[in-house]
Structure 1
Amino acid sequence: MIDLRSDTLTLPSEEMRTAMFRAEVGDDVYGEDPSINALEERTAELLHQEAGLYCPSGSMTNMLGIAAQVPRGYEALCESQAHIVRAECGSHAALAGVTTRTWVSPDGTFDASMPLSMVSEPRGYNQVGTKVIEVENSHNFGGGRVADIEQLRILHSATRELGVRVHVDGARLGNTVAATGISLGEYGDLADSVSLCLSKGLGAPVGSVLVGDADMIAEARLLRKRYGGGMRQAGILAAGALWALEHNLERLADDNANALRIAEAVAATSPGIVDPTVVETNIVFFDFSGTGASGTAFAEAAAREGVRVTAMSESKVRIVTHLDVSDDDALKAGEILARVASDLLGASAA
């Protein structure tokens, strides 16, 4: 079975397991786990930030990054399909008292003028003030699209004048780096905080790191404990994450290439459901809107043929490539999905 449901399904390699087995550990709540400290310092260094905080998940690093910068009753702005509002269980409102407003980007690309036009200063007794603009890079539900670096520079410059901070959900920022050739540090220079996930394409079993200035990270560390996220000898996990960070960044280009390979194979038989020219990283969406076919039926048929995909809705299907999908797997998956799509569309038209 070739599993393209998510890059969270990656399994640790033998080398990673060895690094975890040999990890030096201590009590992280006391700041005494050397493996966690090394991971936090290295991630902050790569992203040109002062400090880092290791957490169990990207949802937690997003929540802490925003909660540490947005007082209760103030707002964060984000795109309407952003992970923080679509897939984090309402944690920002439920736990941190942070409200959100959204702009809409139908194609998943980022235009700095949209959030900048929405920034609000609290006036009178009923206006909600904007404290953070959140950008997801790459944009998961936007089809893995990359935020243009020039737009990020515009955003960074404008927010300095407005007194608003920028949080980047970099769950797959490594795939963005692989796609653009722009370094993690260059992206980090344009943000006040970044959440970098290590358990997706990078292949670690657990964890994300939040980076930012030292004061913000100190506040986030307190909040992590308040939310029950304080960890003890978690260096066993951090050692795997550090191994991933040091060894698996460059190979993310392979995942991006395999995603494009699959998209091109499906487009060759069913051009109406996918456009390979918008595939920039390791995520591909197939859209069956208006075809008479169903995304759910496509996912079920693909699974019977040996490829697992995710039906995001009745019309849309997502695939995500990762390190456990080889070049040969991608070729085979492309052939199978192309055939399944063609058969399904043919049956719908009959």
Structure 2
Amino acid sequence: MRTIDLRSDTVTLPTAAMRQAMCNAELGDDVFEEDPTTIRLEKMAAERMGKEAAMLVASGTMGNLVCVLSHCRRGDEVILGDRSHTFLYEAGGIAAMGGVHPHTIANQPDGTLRLEDIAGAIRADNVHFPRTRLVCLENTHNRCGGAALSPRYIEQVAALAHDHGLLLHLDGARVFNAAVALDVNVEELTRHVDSVSFCLSKGLSAPVGSLVCGSKEFIYEARRNRKALGGGMRQCGIIAAPGIEALEQMIERLAEDHDNARRLAEGIAEISGLLIEPERVQTNIVYFDVAGQTISAEQLVATLAHKGVKILQVGPARLRAVTHYGIGAEGIDLTLAALEQVTYR
């Protein structure tokens, strides 16, 4: 039986070209900054993001942690959304590893933080308070349904942060999804931030890895923090090689995932017992809810799994499906058919 796995875009498998690139990669020792394939990927990433330099890390979580550690000292404070990935899903790393205090403010449904809320969260210069050092945004925003933050909004937040002597980090795990959805060059979304991290292993379908990008001075500090976290890698060109392939070949096709997400959302809207706002689906993430008492979210997930469809439960009645490479319109239609069977049983 075919399995349609919509739990996350992290389940994507590398393409044949990526596997071949791994076999053919020219290698060296990256801790000595002598791996030519990694150097090529980092240069490519920096150019795409409009930054001076970049560094390969093992994961998006490591990327965000390295960025916060490189911007902040122990006892500093970072302003971030209460539904942000860094706050909810990164094991409290900024506090546990960096002694950095998270100051959360409410994410709006479109993934933004209100400018007045950011301004209100900036601490006064007082010995009783931690020093506000950094603002973090997320684009696209996972828990806000894959919402894409606009270049204008990011520019406004950057201006506010910089006017107060703060820095701005962008968790851009799916920033290429945002660029495709908004039909802009990705650099327009990163131009005004002080650092950005993005994932290779989600919609871009590489097997592992993320990039951290910023100024040369920032990346110098980031390399030290990566090493302290145990993230220095040796012949990591085997990781970098499929990442290069991802950046060269896998970005434009993200539009297919967005189309499939809308197809899924519009189909779910027609199924009795499920609640969704299809107009809110902007990229490749679809959230919906189980209504009433006919079937619980837990039961729905389990029953779908028996039919070969995997989705993720993220709340008592809330579910998530993420479209990605390897699942086309046929897979979406099979998913909708399975959902209808389960809810009408």
| Interval of TM-score (by shorter of Structure 1 and Structure 2) | over 0.9
Q: 1:251 — aligned with what?
A: 253
Match of 1:110 in 2: 112
Instruction: Please give the alpha-carbon distance, in whole angstroms, between the structure 2 residues aligned to 1:274 and 1:7.
Output: 20
Q: Give yes or no for contact 2:103–2:121 (8 Å, CA) kept in 1.
A: no
- In the TM superposition, what are the counterparts of 1:1-350 in structure 2 within 5 Å? 1-105=3-107, 107-270=109-272, 273-288=275-290, 293-340=295-342, 342-343=343-344
| Counterpart Cα distance in 1 of 2:28 and 2:172 | 28
Q: Secondary structure of the residue that 1:203 maps to in structure 2?
A: coil
Gaps of 5+ in 1: 345-350
Q: Structure 1 residues 331, 272: CA separation in 2 closer, same or farther (over 3 Å shift)? A: closer
Letter in 1 for 2:304: A
Kindly provide the amino acid, as one letter, of the partner of residue 327 in structure 1.
A
The CA RMSD over aligned residues, in Å, is 1.6
1:120, CA displacement in angstroms? 2.4
Deviates more, 1:330-339 or 1:20-29: 330-339
SS at match of 2:37: helix
Partner SS for 1:224: helix
Q: Identify if the C-alpha distance between structure 1 residues 112 and 217 changes in structure 2 by more than 3 Å, giving closer, same or farther.
A: farther
Work out the CA distance in 1 between the residues paired with 2:69 and 2:323. 31
Distance 1:302 1:106 in 2: 31
* SS of alignment partner, residue 243 of structure 1: helix
**TM-score under structure 1 normalisation?**
0.94
Using the alignment, how far apart are the partners of 1:43 and 1:291 within structure 2?
Answer: 49
Contact 1:56 / 1:207 at 8 angstroms: preserved in 2? yes
Paired AA for residue 314 in structure 1: P
Q: Percent identity?
A: 37
Alpha-carbon offset, residue 157 of structure 1: 1.7
2: CA distance between counterparts of 1:210 and 1:151?
21
Shift in Å at residue 146 of structure 1?
1.3
Q: Name the CA distance, whole Å, in 2 between partners of 1:271 and 1:250.
A: 35
- Offset at 1:52? 0.3
CA shift, 1:16, in A, is 0.8
Letter in 2 for 1:45: E
Moved more, 60-69 or 293-302: 293-302
1:348 is matched with which residue?
A: none
Moved more, 279-288 or 266-275: 266-275
Please state how far the C-alpha of 1:301 moved relative to its aligned partner: 1.8
Instruction: Encode CA deviations 1:246-287: one digit per residue, 9 max, x unaligned.
Output: 100000111111111111101012385111100011101112
SS state of the match for residue 286, structure 1?
Answer: strand
Aligned pairs, number = 343
Counterpart of 2:211, as a letter, is: V
Equivalent position amino acid for 1:236 in 2: I
Higher mean alpha-carbon deviation, 163-172 vs 268-277, is at: 268-277
Counterpart secondary structure, 1:287: strand
Letter in 2 for 1:255: D
Q: What's the CA shift string for 1:81-100, capped at 9, x where partnerless?
A: 11111111111000011110
Counterpart of 2:71 in 1: which secondary structure? coil
**How does the TM-score come out when normalised to structure 2?**
0.95
Distance verdict in 2 for CA 1:35–1:160, change over 3 Å: same
